[in-house]
C-alpha cells in the first residue's frame, strides 16, 4: 500500500475528470495530496488560492485528501513534502508524450520519485479545464463537466 501520493496539476478549474482520478487514486493510496501548481508562465483564470479553496469545498471533510498549492519544480516539492509517488491521469494516447517527458524529467531531478498513471473514465477523455472555461464564457451549461461549486464559481467570475 502506498501511504501518500501527490496529484499535481493546474486545476484551473478542477473538473469531473480530475475528480475521477482523485477517487481512483484513493483506492490505492492512503492520503492523496492534491497539489495546485502556481505557474509563473501562465496567467490563470482562478488564482491558486481560489483553486485550492474550490477543491477543499468539493472534498470538505474527506480525511484522505489534502489540498495545497506549490511553486517551483514538482521534483523539489516531492522532496520537501517527503512524498515519492506522483499520480497523473491519462485521458487519451495524445497525453502520453507529454507525460513521458514529465515523468522522466521528474525522475532525473529526483530519483526517489515514481509516477503512477491512472486512466480517466472514457466519458471524461475529451474534457479539459479550458473547454469548461470556454463553455462557461459563452453561458453554456457546464453541469455535466464540473461539480456545482465550480459551476457557481465560474458564473460568479464571468459576472465580475
Ligand atoms: N480530466 C480532465 N482534464 C484533465 C485531466 C483529467 N483527468 N487531466 C488533465 N486534464 C487537462 C487539464 O484540465 C488541463 O487542461 P487545459 O490545458 O485546458 O487547462 C490539461 O489537461 C493539462 O492539465 P494538468 O494535468 O493540470 O497539467 P499542467 O500541464 O497544467 O500541469 C504539472 C502539470 C503541474 C504537473 C507540471 O506542469 C509541473 O509539474 N509543473 C511544475 C514545474 C516543473 O516541475 N516542471 C518541470 C517538469 S517538465
Ligand 1 centroid, distance to 9 Cα (angstroms): 4
Ligand 1 centroid, distance to 98 Cα (angstroms): 9
Confidence of residue 1 (pLDDT cuts 50, 70, 90): low
Residue nearest to atom 40 of ligand 1 (CA): 74
H-helix or E-strand spanning residue 84: none
Q: What is the pLDDT of residue 62?
A: 79
Q: Is 91 a catalytic residue?
A: yes
Go through 78-91 and write b for each residue having 16 or more CB atoms within 10 A of its CB, e for each that does not.
Answer: beeeebbbbbbbeb
Q: What is the DSSP-derived secondary structure letter of residue 121?
A: P
Domains and CATH numbers, the chain: 4-158 (3.40.50.620)
User: In whole angstroms, how large is the CA radius of gyration of the chain?
Assistant: 15
pTM across the whole model: 0.95
For the CA of 75, the closest atom of ligand 1 is: 44
For the CA of 15, the closest atom of ligand 1 is: 2
Q: Which three cell numbers stand for residue 107?
A: 525522475
Amino acid at each position: 500500500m502506498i501511504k501518500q501520493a501527490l496529484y499535481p496539476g493546474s486545476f484551473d478549474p478542477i473538473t469531473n475528470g480530475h475528480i475521477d482520478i482523485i477517487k481512483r487514486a484513493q483506492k490505492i493510496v492512503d492520503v492523496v495530496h492534491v497539489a495546485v501548481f502556481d505557474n509563473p508562465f501562465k496567467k490563470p483564470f482562478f488564482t491558486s488560492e481560489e483553486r485550492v479553496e474550490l477543491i477543499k469545498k468539493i472534498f470538505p471533510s474527506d480525511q484522505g485528501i489534502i489540498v495545497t498549492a506549490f511553486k517551483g519544480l514538482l521534483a523539489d516539492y516531492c522532496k520537501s513534502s517527503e512524498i515519492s509517488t506522483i499520480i497523473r491521469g491519462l485521458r487519451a494516447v495524445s497525453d502520453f508524450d507529454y507525460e513521458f517527458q514529465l515523468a522522466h524529467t521528474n525522475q532525473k531531478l529526483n530519483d526517489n520519485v515514481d509516477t503512477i498513471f491512472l486512466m480517466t473514465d472514457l466519458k471524461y477523455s475529451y474534457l479539459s479545464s479550458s473547454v469548461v472555461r470556454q463553455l462557461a464564457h459563452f453561458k453554456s451549461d457546464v453541469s455535466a463537466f464540473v461539480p456545482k461549486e465550480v459551476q457557481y464559481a465560474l458564473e460568479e467570475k464571468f459576472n465580475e
